[in-house]
C-alpha cells in the first residue's frame, strides 16, 4: 500500500530428469535421459500425436531440474510422481491440458499458466521450494481456465493469480483441497481485469504463517487494484463467486478488498483463531471485505466474526462498504460489523443469529433493513452498536441525505 492512489493489497515475494515409459498412440517411446531438455524435445516431437500423450508411472519419482513447456494444444497425462528443484516447473498455455492419474504427486514441481484456455485436473503437490503450487502470472490473456480436483499440502501458496497486467475472462477452481500451508490457499491478487471467476467446493485445513510474513494466511482472497471513492469498476476486482468453502484452523477464511458485484455463499468455518498466522497483520474473521460495493454474503456458519469494513490506506479511510446484502448467518462467537455509506445505498441484513457477539453498524446507508435478527452479546457488551458519526471528516461525503432503518422480528439480548 504505497499511496491513496495506488494499492497493492498483499505484497508477495515472487521471488536431473529420468524418463519412465512415455506413450502416445503414434509416437515412439524415447530413451531415458537425465536432462529436462530431453523431455522437452520429446514433447515437441509428440505435437502431432492423436489423443493424449501419456507419461507412464515410474518405480521412483522422476527428477525435473528445469522448466518444461507443454506444447499448445497437447493433452498431457502424467501417471508418475515428479520430484523437482527450485528451478523446476511445468509451463502451460494455449489450449493445452494436464491430467494427473494414479495419484501422481509433484514434489516441488509447480505449474505456471501463462495464457490461454488451459485445463488442470488431478494435480497433487507438496513442497516449499516454490511460492505457489500453481501460478497464473500472465502475460495472458486467459479464457475459461479450469482447475479441478487438486490437492496441495505442506506448501506455501496453493493457487496464486497475479493479475495486474493481464486479463482472465472466465475461470473455475473446483473440488479441491488445501492443507498445512503457510500462505493463502487461493489468492487472486490485483485482478481488476478479470471477470466471471468461480471458486467452489474447496476444503481448507490448516494455514499458519509462522514466519510473520505480512498478509499471508488466508483461505480464499480476491483484491482489486486500488480503493476508490467512486468504487470504479476499472479498479475493482469483480464478477466472481466464492461458494461452498469449508475451512478450519486458520486466521481468516474469506477475504475481499476493492471488490464489487460478487457473491460469497455457503461458507463453513471452524477453529478460526488468532492463534494462527500471528504477526501477519490479518484480522481474525470468517469473512472480511474491505471497501466493497454491490455484494452478497449468504450462508455463513462459523466460530468467528464477519467484518465489512471501509477500505483504508496507511490508516486513512478511503471508502465505506456500499450496497450490501447479508443473510443466513450463524456465528457461535464474534461480531457482525459493517462500515456503511453512500448516497442511494442500501444494507440488508436478514436471518442473522449471533450467539456471542454484537451487530455493529458504523456509518449509515440510505436504506437499512434488519429482518429476523437474534443477537446475544458476549461478556455484557451491547448487542447492537449503531455509530452513524463514523461518516465524518474525509468520510463525510458518503453520508446519505436521509437514512432509514427498518426492523422486523429483531431481538437483542445482553449475554454474560
Diameter over CA atoms, the chain: 77
- Provide the grid cell at 212: 510473520
Q: What pLDDT does 186 receive? A: 98
Angle at 323 between CA 320 and CA 327, to 5 degrees: 110
**Per-residue pLDDT for 363 more than 70?**
yes
Q: What pLDDT does 43 receive? A: 83
Helix H, strand E, coil C: the string for 251-273 is CEEEEEECEEEEEEEEEEEEEEC
Continuous segment of H or E residues that includes residue 133: strand 124-136
Q: Is pLDDT larger for residue 119 or for residue 40?
A: 119
Q: What pLDDT does 17 receive? A: 33
Q: Is pLDDT larger for residue 15 or for residue 37?
A: 37
- Which position has the grid cell 477464511? 253
CA–CA dist 120, 203 (Å, integer):
18
CA–CA dist 25, 52 (Å, integer):
8
Closest by CA position to 306, among listed 281, 277, 272: 272
- Provide the grid cell at 9: 493489497
Q: What pLDDT does 274 receive? A: 96
Domain assignments of the chain as residue spans, ordered by start: 66-319
> Per-residue confidence at 36, pLDDT binned at 50, 70, 90?
low
Q: Give the bridge partners for 173, in sequence order.
A: 147, 199
> Per-residue confidence at 22, pLDDT binned at 50, 70, 90?
very low
CA–CA dist 219, 40 (Å, integer):
35
User: What three-state secondary structure class fits 37?
Assistant: helix
Measure CA 43 to chain center.
33
Establish how many alpha carbons lie within 13 A of residue 8's alpha carbon, considering only the half-sphere containing its beta carbon: 9
DSSP tally for the chain: helices H, then strands E: 1, 33
Q: What is the mean pLDDT of residues 226-242?
A: 96
Q: What pLDDT does 21 receive? A: 35
CA–CA dist 408, 324 (Å, integer):
18
Percent of the chain at pLDDT above 70?
91
Q: What pLDDT does 311 receive? A: 96
Give residue-wise pLDDT tens across range 247-274: 999 999 999 999 999 999 999 999 999 9
Global confidence as pTM: 0.91
- Provide the grid cell at 108: 516441488
Q: Say if residues 82 and 61 touch (Cβ distance below 8 Å).
A: yes
Total number of residues shown for the chain: 416
Query: Across the chain, what does the average pLDDT equal?
Result: 90
**Per-residue pLDDT for 292 more than 80?**
yes
**Per-residue pLDDT for 168 more than 70?**
yes
Bond from prior residue into 141 cis (ω within 30 degrees of 0): yes
Give residue-wise pLDDT tens across range 272-291: 999 999 999 999 999 999 99
> Per-residue confidence at 63, pLDDT binned at 50, 70, 90?
confident
Amino acid at each position: 500500500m504505497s499511496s491513496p492512489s495506488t494499492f497493492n493489497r498483499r505484497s508477495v515475494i515472487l521471488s536431473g530428469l529420468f524418463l519412465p515409459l512415455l506413450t502416445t498412440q503414434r509416437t515412439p517411446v524415447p530413451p531415458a535421459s537425465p536432462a529436462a531438455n530431453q523431455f522437452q524435445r520429446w514433447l515437441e516431437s509428440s505435437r502431432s500425436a492423436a489423443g493424449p500423450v501419456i507419461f507412464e508411472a515410474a518405480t521412483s519419482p522422476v527428477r525435473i531440474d528445469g522448466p518444461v513447456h507443454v506444447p499448445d494444444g497437447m493433452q498431457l497425462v502424467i501417471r508418475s510422481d515428479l520430484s523437482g528443484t527450485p528451478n523446476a516447473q511445468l509451463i502451460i498455455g494455449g489450449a493445452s491440458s494436464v491430467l494427473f492419474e494414479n495419484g501422481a504427486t509433484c514434489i516441488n514441481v509447480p505449474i505456471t499458466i501463462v495464457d490461454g484456455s488451459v485445463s488442470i485436473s488431478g494435480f497433487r503437490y507438496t513442497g516449499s521450494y516454490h511460492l505457489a503450487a500453481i501460478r497464473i502470472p500472465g502475460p495472458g490473456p486467459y479464457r475459461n481456465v479450469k482447475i479441478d480436483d487438486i490437492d496441495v499440502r505442506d506448501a506455501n501458496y496453493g493457487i496464486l493469480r497475479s493479475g495486474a497486467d493481464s486479463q482472465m475472462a472466465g475461470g473455475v477452481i473446483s473440488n479441491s483441497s488445501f492443507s498445512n500451508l503457510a500462505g493463502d490457499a487461493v489468492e487472486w491478487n490485483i485482478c481488476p481485469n478479470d471477470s466471471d471467476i468461480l471458486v467452489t467446493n474447496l476444503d481448507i485445513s490448516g494455514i499458519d504463517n509462522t514466519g510473520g510474513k505480512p498478509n499471508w494466511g488466508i483461505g480464499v482472497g480476491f483484491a482489486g487494484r486500488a480503493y476508490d471513492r467512486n468504487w470504479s469498476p476499472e479498479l475493482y476486482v469483480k464478477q466472481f463467486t466464492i461458494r461452498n468453502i469449508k475451512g478450519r484452523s486458520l486466521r481468516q477464511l474469506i477475504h475481499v478488498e476493492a471488490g464489487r458485484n460478487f457473491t460469497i455463499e455457503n461458507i463453513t468455518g471452524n477453529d478460526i483463531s488468532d492463534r494462527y498466522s500471528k504477526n501477519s497483520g490479518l484480522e481474525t474473521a470468517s469473512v472480511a471485505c474491505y471497501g466493497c460495493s454491490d455484494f452478497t454474503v449468504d450462508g455463513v456458519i462459523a466460530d468467528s466474526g464477519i467484518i465489512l469494513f471501509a477500505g483504508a490506506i496507511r490508516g486513512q479511510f478511503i471508502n465505506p462498504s456500499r450496497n450490501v446484502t447479508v443473510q443466513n448467518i450463524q456465528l457461535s462467537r464474534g461480531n457482525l460489523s459493517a462500515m456503511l455509506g453512500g448516497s442511494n445505498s442500501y444494507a440488508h441484513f436478514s436471518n442473522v443469529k449471533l450467539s456471542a457477539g454484537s451487530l455493529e453498524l458504523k456509518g449509515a446507508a440510505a436504506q437499512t433493513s434488519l429482518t429476523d435478527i437474534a443477537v446475544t452479546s458476549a461478556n455484557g457488551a451491547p448487542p447492537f452498536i449503531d455509530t452513524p458519526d463514523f461518516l465524518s471528516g474525509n468520510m463525510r461525503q458518503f453520508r446519505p441525505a436521509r437514512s432509514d432503518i427498518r426492523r422486523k422480528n429483531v431481538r437483542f439480548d445482553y449475554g454474560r
